[in-house]
Structure 1
């Protein structure tokens, strides 16, 4: 366990609130508690205490106090928590007393979680799972994040690394005796089959990335079409509020606008875009460029077509549905997959049901995917490439062993056994202060 300065921070939400939790971690955490509260409570037991200023003895607040001796704590260090009233002035006074008179520093973003990682309480995939859990807005996101936090991916990686290390041992043990004429270089009969099975497992895990990414980041639906096709009106209808400006003037929307909704327990991001047309307006032209980029990044494009719309259908490598809008108006509409009216609500429920069914089809089985971060996908790609290279170089044992080492190292880096400081800094910076 690493030795570091004691840190403290408010670990609950914005103030004022019904209650607030101030968290401490570090070698002098218990000394700080004694200076503020007097006698320490029993480990992992709440005790009602009056928190006092260390110098003046003035009462700062009254609340519940708990201490968690390391290494059996979240960070692996001595930790403590003050559960006090959610008063901005009260919390400020307690933190001021801790930092001014108790040799405690204010924590930065992710400091507590980083200490948990550095002290071996969490691996890097579990850290990411914790971050995903804190950001979860839907039930599917919660389940997927919790599976990752509880070590599902790390456990699988441990199995893969064990297979790789065993395979390397098989080769290197024979290389050590390669100068002995009476010791033939023969690998076990199951060696190639084991590597092929491992390659299949890595490939299968890699194939779940798209499903995991959709659950974690949300299914991206882009509303596109000609100006005045009804994109902003449909966005407002699906979002249940007037989040986008709607006027009769063509070209009102000049930028992309994202709105998140919960559709059948799945997180969905709806993106309104500028109408596609030729224009001399620089602002509208930039909006059209952004609209095309959003379409290319979408999981599904809803191409909206109003009655009399002659805008050509886009040729793109994304799922695209033709949606006929303004069905409440007279006039023949183009050939579409579904007609609706954002004004009257006609067809909206049908659209939502079709979208929900489509997303469920994309996600496949209900089991949470553990591969959901770009870092996961890249690591699995690299590991799979190295294993396939090893299979192609069985007759070159030195190179085969090197390929297996690279695959194992990539997987080790994924769980943080071989850390990259830049990756760690970026990851922990995404956590809130107090976590």
Structure 2
């Protein structure tokens, strides 16, 4: 992504028109000049002013806000124009602003400038991205906590502790021959490393919790062909997403359907029926189904009164055993009976799934939610572990502590961030 940081950029930051109000955002060195030219003067900083917007002719009348650097989202001079959200009006204003010297922003360019100017770190930006995409209440809470700096504060605390440890050991390396510093490390040095390692380990242990908030709790609907998996999925999702026929083996791939249960995202997995088959396509579906079951957070085994079960081991290991087609009979030895035809048992089944989900989730949403988090924290823990075993050779222990610091710096985007920046910011919408 080519982003020229010296330019003044402009974009529509609200949703696509038509809309009641459209918000157009500018950032860069020429913002003040452009606003003076198109809005009849520069408003008082951080106060909305009703202004005519246009050049030779009036294009609209709207609210204009000016945010001088460095007290703005990007850290540069910024402005926002709140205008009527007509497609023609927005196009005309954007065209005027570009003729005045601004250029249309790339995806995520405003947020990238905020990062480059030290207004946000990489972890907070990922939280902002998650917040923009949040579809459930738990996702919103977790993303907002990350965006507000919850994880960054923890990482900063660990960084400062590491700096103290590194200063302690490096002072002995640099000044040991001058007599001002004792050669021996304090007795508490090893325990300080262990305490820090434990703190980071506790955060890392919450990673799975954070993942299921961000990505959803995966619920596999498993069972023999024609046990009613697709019908149950449609009933729970209140849609006709899955194809339902009397023919066995119609589901050939893993079908994923999102479901919001009281603010938590669940991903229902409709799987191929498990049986031996000569069909290569169906056999591949069965293979994918078994893989999905092994990766699922919750496994439901569906049994029907008119269908023979095909995998006793999976049935025994399932989190819930569901008897389907309750309207034509009751499958034996099940936890819940449901009928898609009559709706019987569906509410109770959702409550049972949610109960298991709450056990998986635990308490407050975790701040560790991305694979990048897990890699960085695991790397820091490994480096601290090495440092503890190397205290007899301070030069090597100091290098291990430096590597631990580097892992945390990389998590915040302060070291070697370029590799993740383009991919991260390109996922943002234009104007953010």
Q: What SS does the corresponding residue of 1:360 show, helix, strand or coil? A: helix
Deviation at 1:285, TM superposition (A): 3.5
**Aligned pairs (5 A) from 1:233-382:** 233-307=231-305, 308-315=307-314, 320-330=319-329, 333-365=331-363, 367-382=364-379
Deviation at 1:333, TM superposition (A): 2.3
Separation in 2, partners of 1:311, 1:84: 63
1:420 partnered with 2:417: yes
Cα deviation digits, residues 347-370 of structure 1 (max 9, x gap): 2122111111111111112x2311
Deviation at 1:59, TM superposition (A): 2.0
Q: Is the 8 A contact 1:129 1:148 kept in 2?
A: yes
Q: 2:145 is matched with which residue: 137, 144, 147?
A: 147
Residues 1:58 and 1:317: Cα distance change in structure 2 (over 3 Å) = farther
**Aligned pairs (5 A) from 1:43-192:** 43-52=45-54, 54=55, 57-99=56-98, 101-179=99-177, 184-192=182-190
Q: 2:200 is matched with which residue: 202, 208, 222?
A: 202
Separation in 1, partners of 2:316, 2:427: 33
Moved more, 178-187 or 340-349: 178-187
Residues 1:182 and 1:103: Cα distance change in structure 2 (over 3 Å) = closer
1:387 partnered with 2:384: yes
Deviation at 1:179, TM superposition (A): 4.3
Moved more, 122-131 or 28-37: 28-37
Residues 1:71 and 1:318: Cα distance change in structure 2 (over 3 Å) = farther
Separation in 2, partners of 1:376, 1:271: 27
Separation in 2, partners of 1:409, 1:342: 55
Q: What SS does the corresponding residue of 2:312 show, helix, strand or coil? A: coil
Separation in 2, partners of 1:317, 1:419: 48
Residues 1:318 and 1:89: Cα distance change in structure 2 (over 3 Å) = farther
Structure 2 length-normalised TM:
0.94
Separation in 1, partners of 2:225, 2:93: 57
Separation in 1, partners of 2:60, 2:313: 64
What residue number does 1:4 align with?
Answer: 6
Cα deviation digits, residues 251-297 of structure 1 (max 9, x gap): 22222222211112211111212222333434433333332332232
Q: What SS does the corresponding residue of 2:367 show, helix, strand or coil? A: coil
Residues 1:15 and 1:408: Cα distance change in structure 2 (over 3 Å) = same
Separation in 1, partners of 2:67, 2:11: 16
Deviation at 1:208, TM superposition (A): 0.4
Q: Is the 8 A contact 2:223 2:309 kept in 1?
A: no
Deviation at 1:408, TM superposition (A): 0.6
Moved more, 142-151 or 31-40: 31-40
Separation in 1, partners of 2:304, 2:315: 21
Deviation at 1:185, TM superposition (A): 2.0
Unpaired runs of 5+ residues, structure 1, are: none
Unpaired runs of 5+ residues, structure 2, are: none
Deviation at 1:180, TM superposition (A): 6.0
Structure 1 length-normalised TM:
0.94
Q: What SS does the corresponding residue of 2:420 show, helix, strand or coil? A: helix
Aligned length: 428
Q: Is the 8 A contact 1:65 1:81 kept in 2?
A: yes
Deviation at 1:154, TM superposition (A): 0.7
Q: What SS does the corresponding residue of 1:77 show, helix, strand or coil? A: coil
Separation in 2, partners of 1:314, 1:65: 66
Across the aligned residues of Structure 1 and Structure 2, the Cα RMSD in angstroms comes to 2.0
Moved more, 174-183 or 205-214: 174-183
Separation in 1, partners of 2:164, 2:63: 51
Q: Is the 8 A contact 1:309 1:334 kept in 2?
A: no
Residues 1:314 and 1:4: Cα distance change in structure 2 (over 3 Å) = farther
